[in-house]
Structure formats: structure tokens, C-alpha cells
Structure 1
Amino acid sequence: MSAVSSQCPEIGGHVVAKFGGTSVANFDAMNNSADIVLANKAVRVVVLSASAGITNLLVTLAEGCDADKRADYLKQIHSIQYAIIDRLHESDTIRQEIDRLLENLKTLAKAASLATSAALTDELVSHGELMSTRLFTELLRQRGKNAEWFDIRKVMYTDDSFGRAEPNHEQLQSLATEHLLPHLKNSLVVTQGFIGREENGRTTTLGRGGSDYTAALLGEALGLKRVDIWTDVPGIYTTDPRVVPTAQRIDKIAFDEAAEMATFGAKILHPATLFPAIRCGIPVFVGSSKNPQAGGTLVCDTTEAPPQFRAITLRQKQTLLTLHSLKMLHAQGFLAEIFTILSRHNISVDLITTSEVNVALTLDTTGSASTNGSLLTNALMTELSTLCRVEVEEDLALVAIIGNQLSQTNGLGKKVFSVLERFNLRMISHGASNHNLCLLVQGKDAEQIVQTLHQRLFESKCEQLRTA
């Protein structure tokens, strides 16, 4: 693990708490989240996602739809927000604020039905966080907390890659120190995750799951002592408990292990969340807003006696591209051309294998953008076809075994593959990292493979499930 950057601000005594969509889904969920905030005086920054279900409705509106469907989706959004407002006291002011945002949504949705764009989509989708933070700020005030609503776009400057914008870290630190830090002395700040602005003032979004990233970036920029991520699951588990009910919670996990888990499919953390935490050595706590007393997982720099096998992750909806070209034979620069094309289309590759005249690579085709669109556009396929013949295989899944010193472990292959002989393994990737062994498999087999591996690697050796 690399040392903490000398450019990190001095770590203070404050905490940033991020609450996901289910934690602000309705009034009761918001009230539970407010309990957590009020119980911890160290929390001075709160970052929120949109209320559960809102973002999906907004994305659908942004894709354009007829007047009847548009009215129905807007009515659903109104109902979700007003179910919260109706349980607030003295709600005239907050009603006016939400009504203004809803009216703006109506205008943007109509514009999207005529001609949509990535920039319009981000402007429209951002309203989910703008509304949830207004409501939560009002709830905290009514419960006696000196809370301030803060527009994150004042400090979160990004590039103009709408749907998956990248923040400017240097600007964020400077602007957050100037505009946000002074508010923390006497009040608690409630702000939006997921959104930002590009240099011309247009709203951008950081991609699905970007609220976690926002919280970590603010923790880094403000020099806070910890980032708390509150979700509907009490921590990080050895695998998804919905797939393997016997999965065990990991009480403490190292940054590099958690980063591998997030990268390869563990949905509990956005993959980018850990980068700011690693840079400045800020611990990240993951807990459940529904049951905060249940504890959670602490992600930190190192752990004692890290186990050989830490977790198994699963990522569905993977696509395998196989590129065939005789130009590859004894040639230079072919792969460079392929990756240049992928880069132009903002696509990153997960796994890659090569032979004399073939390249096979995997893509997470859902991408990380705010919309639901596939990365395999006609423009991409046309451009690739000028260099090679392209075969596409879909409905695959990526299963990753996460652990420590895996590339230096004798007998690893036997432990893993002896229990998977009845399954077709489409691709295997191992050796580039000490922390993972990746398997590309048929999507229909993926959950059974995870269950089989968990039984083999974890349930037979319970002592490896936790750290000291």
C-alpha cells in the first residue's frame, strides 16, 4: 500500500456520511438516517443519493416518451416526494422548493421528448439528488439540527463527459476549502452525491453509484477523519448474501482487497470510492441505515493476518469481443489501434487474452454511465470492423475470487477448478494481480458457480472468514 500523499489536507475530527437511495426512500427511511446523523456529533457533511426509484424514472423521462407516459412518470415522482413532505411539519417552504423542481422537471422532460442529449439527460437526472437533499435538510431542521443545504456544483467541477464525468480533484480541494469548509464550524451541511458541473456551468453526473465517490472525494478534499457509507446491507460480505445466504460479514478489510471486490462486482461500494480514501488513508465504514446497531465493515489501510481467500464477487451482463485479423501475425501496433478505438468511445477493458491472430476481451456493457445504454454502439462496431472481424458473445458473467498472494499459492488451480469441472469456463485471467483470479462464465451458471466456490473456499474453513 502506498504512503499517504503529502498533498492531502490534515485529517480533522469530522465525518462525512453518505446515504443511498433506500436510506432516503421514504419518510421513515429518512427519519432512520436522521437518527444516525443526530447520534454522531462528528458528522458534519451528509451526502445523499436520490430517493429509491427516482433516478430510474428520471432516466426514462430523459430517453423521451409520449405525453401520457411522461405525465405518469412525473406523477410517480410527485407521489414519492410528497409522501415525505406530507409528514413534515410547517411544510409550506419545502413544498414551494419541491414544486419548483418538479415544474422544472416537467419542462426538461418535454424537451427530452423532442430531442434528447447526454447534457439534457444529466440536467434532468440531477433533480433526484436536488429534491432528496432539500427534503432531508428540512427534516434535520425540524428535528432541531442546524443544517444547511449546499449545492455541490459550486465545488464539484468535472470534465464534460456527460453521464460519466470525471471530477477535477485539484479544483475540488481548493473550492471545497473556500466555499464548504467554513460552513462546518457551526452547522451540518447536506449536499448531493452523483452530480457536478462542467466549466460552462452545465450539470454533469458521475455515473451510477457516483454518490459514494462524491462522499470519498469530499472526505479527501476537506481532510475528514472517516467516510461512512450507509446502505441497506450491514457491511461487506464474503459474497452477495442474496446468492449465498451463508455468506459472512467481513468486519475489517484492507483497501486493496476492497478495491478488487468493488472493481469486479461487489455492489456495496462504487469502485472509484476507494481511490480518494487510499490516497489520503481515510478509513471507510460501511453499515446499514436500517439497522445501525448491527455494526458493519471498516475498510482501512491494512489488516492483521489477511486470509488467502477473502471474497467472491459476481458481475452479470458481461460481453466478450473476439477480434480476428491476420494483420496481427508478427505485426506491431495492432493492439494499440484497437485500444485507441475503445478509448475514443470511453470504453475500458476488463480481461484480455491473445493468440497469433485473435484477441479476446471482456467489457462490462452496462458501463458506468447514468443512463442504461449499452457501450456497444453501431459507431464502435463499425470502427472496429475496419481493422478486424468482430464476434460478440453476450449473456456472460464475471466471477472473481478475491484474496491475498493468490499468484504465489501452490495448488490454487486444483482447489478452484476441481469443483467447476461441469461448468464451461469461457475465459480465465490470473497472474496480473496477487489479489484476484477471474473467470468468465455463462450467465445462467454464474450463481451456481459462486455457491460452489463459496462452499469450497469458505464454508469448509470458517476461521478464514474474519480478520483478527
Structure 2
Amino acid sequence: MSNPNQPCVIAKFGGTSVADYQAMSNSANIVIANPNVKVVVLSASAGVTNLLVALAEGRDAEIRKQHIAKLQAIQYNILEQLPENPALREEIDRVISNIAALSEAASLATSAALTDELVCHGELMSSRLFVEVLKEKQRNAVWFDVRKVMRTDSKFGKAAPKVDEIKQLCCAHIKSLNGSQIIVTQGFIGSEHTGKTTTLGRGGSDYTAALLGEALNATQIDIWTDVAGIYTTDPRIAENAKRIDDITFAEAAEMATFGAKVLHPATLVPAVRSNIPVFVGSSKAPHDGGTIVYNAHSIKSELPLFRAVTLRRKQTLLTLNSLNMLHAQGFLANVFAILAKHNISVDLVTTSEVSIAVTIDTAGTNTDGSSLLTKELLDELSKVCCVEVQEDLALVAIIGNNLTTTKGMTKQIFGQLEQFSVRLACFGASTHNICFLVKAHDAENIVKILHKTIFE
């Protein structure tokens, strides 16, 4: 890190890429194969975060015991394939004991702060073990606690990073480290100003990698996952999905925002700000290539009309109806002020003369629309309008370029949806997407039909 002119790649590995010893070994080989990788960012081993979240919800003693035994088994299965290391085993045992104590506290009274403190242990363990995997392969690796540099606000569960402070702290704690060392650290977690652990929200390991990349002036950010790049849709839904070899930041951000799970929606923000290319590949098949994401001017070919079809589940529709809205001023402002007061982030919006329909995205959270829409919020909204809540919905989006200026395109798309009930459609606000809010049980069929029409 000490040579500012040397290429610097940040490599991030997701949960399946560090799920067990073999997966960690494959990921370590990827790191070793690229001498420009200076920082490695890890998620928790697959399944670990879900167990920790369950413990944070306050389970009874027997279920806690079962969950902790599963956590221990995942770590021990990796540990036992490494050379004997009493200090590492003692460290893993200490972390497991800490998890047990925190989960017992959560069974008495849970909180967002306690949940963050508990769930961070997944990344702490995977990164400790990965250091030893690299050392076993004769590489000079050092463990680094990302909470020293990943400064956030105090919104536990979905903390916002403080970019300027992160850059200053990275200069102080990471750039001064020995440049021949591979720094292994954690994704997803950070700390607020008093030192309490925070998390960036589920999927936040990608975001961590991008934030560190920005702070360290990285030349590239590599996101290693379980698929070989970004596809025209989820290959698990449409078997003929095609990989996209190169894609612009704008297109990838739209895809991530509207449900593509390969990238965390916020990941690209630091990369776009600093013009850092992002590579997405499979840690299981690194030689299969992947997708590179960069600025539009770097792509030589003309951008296609259609790029992808995405699906975002767990959507809630809030319809607000009032005759007082007709020709009235300030009604929209009043409604949105109430939503903001209750920390509700509105996604899509459509309006008519006497009603507003807004969607609320609960995908990627541990909650649903009904728990976000508290009684206090609904009571306050009911004073100014009639409120209707509809759940079990999904958002299907077509991602592309110049969608609003291409003739005949809408007939091609809307004609495929005649047999389905479309609850809401958004088109025109962006040249990059057309969105449909549909019943959850119809969503996958709609994705298959649209993908076949557009790409097959």
C-alpha cells in the first residue's frame, strides 16, 4: 500500500466463496494469481449471518443452543483442515462464546444495536480463517479490523458511511501498512463515533469493497460471487439468460436497484464517483471470465435498447386517496412529510386526480411492509386521506437505454402482459427502465415471458 503508483485491486468474496475450506482455498488462489490484489474483503461464510440474525431475534435456550452448535460446526470444519493452530482455535472459541453471551442478552431484550454487535461476528470469523488459508499457501497476509476505518452514522441495521472520515482513517491505518502484505478484512460492518459496531445492511460487503476502493484510490474492484458475471436475468428463472460482458455504471446501477442480486444497489456509488471499474466473476470458475462495469465512454459499441429483465420481491403498495387532493396545494408535500417522519423510504410513485400510489421496498430487509407501516404512521395518514395497503407484490423491471424515445417498443412489451394483472406501471421518469408491479405469484412467469420476447 505504500507505493501510490502501484496498481491496487480490492477483491471481495461473498458467503458462498468462503463457505468452507475448499471454497476459501479457491478464493485464496484467485488472490494469489493477481499480484495487484492488496485488500481482500470478506462476507461471513454462507449461512452464518442468517443464524446470527435468528439469534439476535431472541430465541429460547434450546434453539439458541442448536444455532450456536451449527455456527461452531461451520467454523470448525474449516479450522480442522488447517495446520494445527491453538491460538486461532482459541480465538474462534472466544468469538463463539461471545455470540452465546450476546444471544442470551437478546433473548431478554433485543435492539438494533445489539443485533449489529451480534451479526458482525460472522465476518470476524471468516476473515480470521482466511488469513490462515493464505498463510498456508505461503502468502504474507495480515488480519485487519475494518471497524477502525469504516466510520458510519448511528443508524444501526443500515448505517450510512461517512466518506471523508473513511478516507482519512484509511490513510492513517491502511496506506501505511507494508505493501507486500495482503490485507484481509471484513465487509458489511463498521463503527459509529463512540466505537459501537454498525452494519451497512444485508449485501453491504460489496459496498464496503467499493468504499475502501474509493478511499485507497483503487484501480479496480473485483466482486467474486457464485455466478460468472451479470446476466440478462436471473439464470435460475430463465435458463437461457445470457452473460453481459461489459455494461455501464448507469445500467448496472438500474439493475442492482431493481433487484439484480449480483451487486448491492449502493455498491456502484463510490465506484462511479471515483471512476473505478468493477469486475464481477465466479470464485468457483474464475477462468470463465465475467462482467466489467465502467463508464459509458469506455464501451466502444453502441448501447443496446434492452439490457436486462430484473425481479424484486417483497414489495408493498400504499394507496392514499382523498377528495381534498383535487386542485389542492400542499397535499403531496404533507403526505411525504408524514412518511419521512416515520422513516419510510418511498420507491415508485404514481398519481391521479384524487389519489397517490407509492411502493415500499422491503427486499433485502428482515421485515415486511406491515411492520414498516406502523399503527402510528397509518393513524397519522388516515387523518388526511383514506389508506389502503396491499402486500404480496413484486416489481419486474426492463432495463435498457433510450427506452422513452424508441417508437413501437411499448406495444412490444405491454402486449406480452395481457394475461396478467398489473397493479402499477412506471414509465417515462427514466430512459433506462420500465417497471411493473405485479402479484408475487405471477412475477417469475412474467420475467420468463419478457426475457423470451426481448432476448431469445
Give me the TM-score of the superposition, normalised by structure 1. Answer: 0.94
Aligned pairs for 1:269-348 within 5 A:
269-302=263-296, 303=299, 304-348=301-345
Cα distance in 1 for partners of 2:57, 2:331 equals 36
Unpaired runs of at least 5, structure 1: 1-9, 460-468
State which drifts further: 237-246 or 388-397: 388-397
Q: Give the RMSD, CA atoms, in angstroms.
A: 1.4
Query: Is 1:163 the counterpart of 2:157 in the alignment?
Result: yes
State which drifts further: 119-128 or 440-449: 440-449
Which residue in 2 is equivalent to 1:466? none
Which residue in 1 is equivalent to 2:220? 226
Classify 1:11/1:343 alpha carbon distance in 2 versus 1 (closer, same or farther; 3 Å).
farther
1:403 to 400, 407, 410: 400
Cα distance in 2 for partners of 1:107, 1:14 equals 39
Alignment check: 8 A CA contact 1:365 1:376 kept: no
Return the letter of the residue paired with 1:289: S
Return the letter of the residue paired with 2:306: F
Secondary structure at 2:174 match in 1: helix
Secondary structure at 1:185 match in 2: coil
Identical residues among aligned pairs (%): 61
Cα distance in 1 for partners of 2:451, 2:344 equals 31
* CA offsets 1:162-213 (integer angstroms, 9 cap, x no match): 1000000000011101111122512110011000011111100000100000
Classify 1:382/1:200 alpha carbon distance in 2 versus 1 (closer, same or farther; 3 Å).
farther
Query: Is 1:250 the counterpart of 2:244 in the alignment?
Result: yes
Which residue in 2 is equivalent to 1:188? 182
Query: Is 1:440 the counterpart of 2:440 in the alignment?
Result: no
State which drifts further: 253-262 or 296-305: 296-305
Aligned pairs for 1:35-46 within 5 A:
35-46=29-40
Which residue in 2 is equivalent to 1:4? none
Cα distance in 2 for partners of 1:19, 1:90 equals 25
Return the letter of the residue paired with 2:448: Q
Q: Quote how far apart the aligned CAs of 1:11 are.
A: 7.6
Which residue in 2 is equivalent to 1:98? 92
Which residue in 2 is equivalent to 1:417? 414
Cα distance in 2 for partners of 1:372, 1:83 equals 32
Alignment check: 8 A CA contact 1:402 1:435 kept: yes
Which residue in 2 is equivalent to 1:430? 427
Cα distance in 2 for partners of 1:11, 1:282 equals 15
Alignment check: 8 A CA contact 1:11 1:224 kept: no
Which residue in 2 is equivalent to 1:86? 80
Classify 1:75/1:378 alpha carbon distance in 2 versus 1 (closer, same or farther; 3 Å).
farther
Alignment check: 8 A CA contact 1:12 1:225 kept: no
Cα distance in 2 for partners of 1:344, 1:63 equals 26
2:199 to 200, 205, 226: 205
Q: Quote how far apart the aligned CAs of 1:337 are.
A: 2.2
Alignment check: 8 A CA contact 1:44 1:184 kept: no
Q: How many residues align?
A: 449
Secondary structure at 2:175 match in 1: helix
1:138 to 129, 132, 141: 132
Alignment check: 8 A CA contact 1:11 1:225 kept: no
Alignment check: 8 A CA contact 1:314 1:446 kept: yes
* CA offsets 1:329-348 (integer angstroms, 9 cap, x no match): 22222222222222233322
Secondary structure at 1:297 match in 2: strand
* CA offsets 1:398-448 (integer angstroms, 9 cap, x no match): 010000000111111111011211111111101111100111111111111
Alignment check: 8 A CA contact 1:215 1:227 kept: yes
Give me the TM-score of the superposition, normalised by structure 2. Answer: 0.96
Which residue in 2 is equivalent to 1:177? 171
Classify 1:364/1:227 alpha carbon distance in 2 versus 1 (closer, same or farther; 3 Å).
same
Aligned pairs for 1:12-23 within 5 A:
12-23=6-17
Which residue in 2 is equivalent to 1:391? 388
Return the letter of the residue paired with 1:299: V
Which residue in 2 is equivalent to 1:214? 208
Cα distance in 1 for partners of 2:236, 2:116 equals 32
Cα distance in 1 for partners of 2:348, 2:130 equals 42
Which residue in 2 is equivalent to 1:464? none
Q: Quote how far apart the aligned CAs of 1:12 are.
A: 5.0
Query: Is 1:363 the counterpart of 2:360 in the alignment?
Result: yes
Which residue in 1 is equivalent to 2:375? 378
Which residue in 2 is equivalent to 1:450? 447
Moved over 4 A (4+): none
Return the letter of the residue paired with 1:16: I
Cα distance in 2 for partners of 1:271, 1:445 equals 24
Classify 1:423/1:184 alpha carbon distance in 2 versus 1 (closer, same or farther; 3 Å).
farther
Secondary structure at 1:253 match in 2: strand
